Amino acid sequence: MFNDFGVMLLVLLSFALTFTVARFLSRNFRAKRRAREEAARRAGESRQVRRARERRQK
Residue 45: per-residue pLDDT? 87
Query: Model confidence over 10-58: pLDDT tens digits?
Result: 999 999 999 999 999 999 999 999 999 989 988 888 889 989 988 998 7
Q: d(Cα 23, Cα 28) in Å, to the nearest integer?
A: 9
pTM of the model: 0.55
Q: d(Cα 41, Cα 10) in Å, to the nearest integer?
A: 46
